[in-house]
Amino acid sequence: MSDSRIESHRDRGSGIGDPTNAAGRDSTLDVLMDAARAVREHAHADYSGFKVGAALETADGTIVTGCNIENATYGLTICAERVAMFKALSDGHRQFRRMVVVAPPEAPTPPCGACRQVLWEFAGDLEIILANLNGETGRHRIGELLPQPFDRRLLK
């Protein structure tokens, strides 16, 4: 059986440099967490009450945020992760370091299948840091969450 986790044409999200403060703590991660928590408050979650915020760090250090926006038909709802990615792409960003996703439950809340596919397509094996309102709950790479992606190699 072959390993379907191929290298994407995008940045793996590593080797770009991880700024740490004097205490050895990743100060950019703190900023990403705060940004995701803050944007979560803008979520339009009138139907589920489940507010999610995402903060995407680009290769140049820009932080792009997104929140979930629900629609009465549910199928037209868009998740925080896709809002952040689409905003980043529309602003011209093409390489990404990592994404923080903040959701209310104590248990880790990973991206849905549609978000996993979009993140793979545009960011490759991106690091995803899951958190709730109190702190980090987990870390994954998209390749772990989406082990057999549908991507450009299948369209040749």
Query: Pick the catalytic residue: 7, 41, 70, 81?
Result: 81
CA distance 29 to 34: 9
Q: 22 φ, ψ to 5°?
A: -60, -30
> Six-digit token pair at 72?
């009465």
Q: Known catalytic residue: 136?
A: no
The one-character DSSP state at 44 is B
Taking the CA of residue 13 as centre, how many other CA atoms within 13 Å lie in the half-sphere pointing to its CB?
A: 24
Q: Enumerate the active-site residues.
A: 81
